Amino acid sequence: MKSHHHQLLFMFLVFFAQKIELLTAETFTGTYGINYGRIADNIPSPDEVATLLRAAKIKNVRIYDADQSVLKAFSGTGLQLVVGLPNGFVKEMSANASHAMTWVKENVQAFLPKTSIRGIAVGNEILGGGDYELWEALLGAVKNIYNAVDKLGLADVVQITTSHSQAVFDNSYPPSSCIFRENIAQFMKPLLEFFSQIGSPFCLNAYPFLAYMSDPENIDINYALFQKTKGIYDMKTDLHYDNMLDAQIDATYAALEDAGFKKMEVIVTETGWASLGDANEAAATVNNARTFNYNLRKRLAKKKGTPLRPKMVVKAYIFAIFNENLKSGPTSERNFGLFKPDGSISYDIGFHGLSSAESSLLSLKVRDSLYQHTRSFKRQHIGIRTVYFLDKNN
């Protein structure tokens, strides 16, 4: 009877420990994350990608779907994953709550807790895009996905968000003058109201590369690349900006404050710089991409806020792990990767390629294995000595 009670207590403690582990999980660890786009037919397998990211110590990862091969490969790795509900599913999820429940069960709940899924991004850059029916469906999809997560007891584990492009804003220069576009505000405000209720941040895709390319005659490239520059001065707030990304983030905070959501956090869900482009994309060079990504990594490592929100530490997901050879559009679209398709680095910002990562991870596994064997031997050795000691005293 006594051993039965001990067994029940043990099972309860294991269950409780798992629950605590889930409840205390953070959506974003540190300040640096990366986007894992897979519109390519020549990139490494998900298992190799997990090895690469672990060796690079990049813990926060976003994917644009809920591909099961990725979810399985990331199981037990400790990598924290945000999965995506693609735009093509948004209308269906908005119209049908039971479909939303099925999607969450099959693509999220089924992989927890071994695969550390920390968020669901419902659509990407919908508001401001060309499909107005999607604008109308977005809030319903967000609510149905959240309600499914909540009913499954995962609301403290899995955060619901959606990412926005700069197309949702008007007057983003200077930062303090930024507001949401008039035709978007009627869709944005109810969405922000809901996100405010459930504690979700505003997710921003911000590209100094694109902003510079749109007006190279009037924007100093050093300002876009975090290089030494005179920067800009915002008279309304009496704040100085020495880099464009901070200004883009603070423009977002200004728009949120104007809409009545002053306390909402902004997280950068995409930013990056192309290393190759077409003839009219002169800024897309290896040197500029290296400079931007190296300086961005340094800026994020400081764990500081922006001029307007100095206590809101900037967090960003870099775009992207790999160059994606099947993406459409200009050449730059296919050349945002920190790594080449073979897993080697595109340029040096302090990370190592896949072959180095595999060697590094293998040596870690050998070391861990030796450590475990040593511990096991010590326990056995202590056990033998204890038995011998007891036997002598009998």
Per DSSP bridges, beta strands 202-205 and 179-180 are: unpaired
Conformation bin of residue 201: beta by default, left when phi > 0, alpha when psi is -120 to 50: beta
Distances from the Cα of 107 to the Cα of 59, 158, 177, angstroms = 20, 12, 41
**What residues contact 372, with CB distance under 8 A and at least 6 apart?**
none
Cis previous bond, 201, omega within 30: no
Q: Within a 13 Å sphere around the CA of 369, how many CA atoms are in the beta-carbon half?
A: 6
CA angle 377, 380, 385 (to 5 degrees): 125
- The full DSSP string for 323-371 is --TT--SSGGGG---SB-TTS-BSS-SS---HHHHHHHHHHHHHHHHHH
Residue 101 DSSP class? H
Annotated catalytic sites, by residue? 125, 270
Distance CA 341, CA 81 (A): 21
For the chain, how are helix, strand and coil distributed in percent, rounded to 5? 50, 15, 40
SS3 69: helix
Q: Within a 13 Å sphere around the CA of 165, how many CA atoms are in the beta-carbon half?
A: 11
Cα 340 from chain centroid (whole Å):
20
What six digits make up the tokens of 366? 């050998």
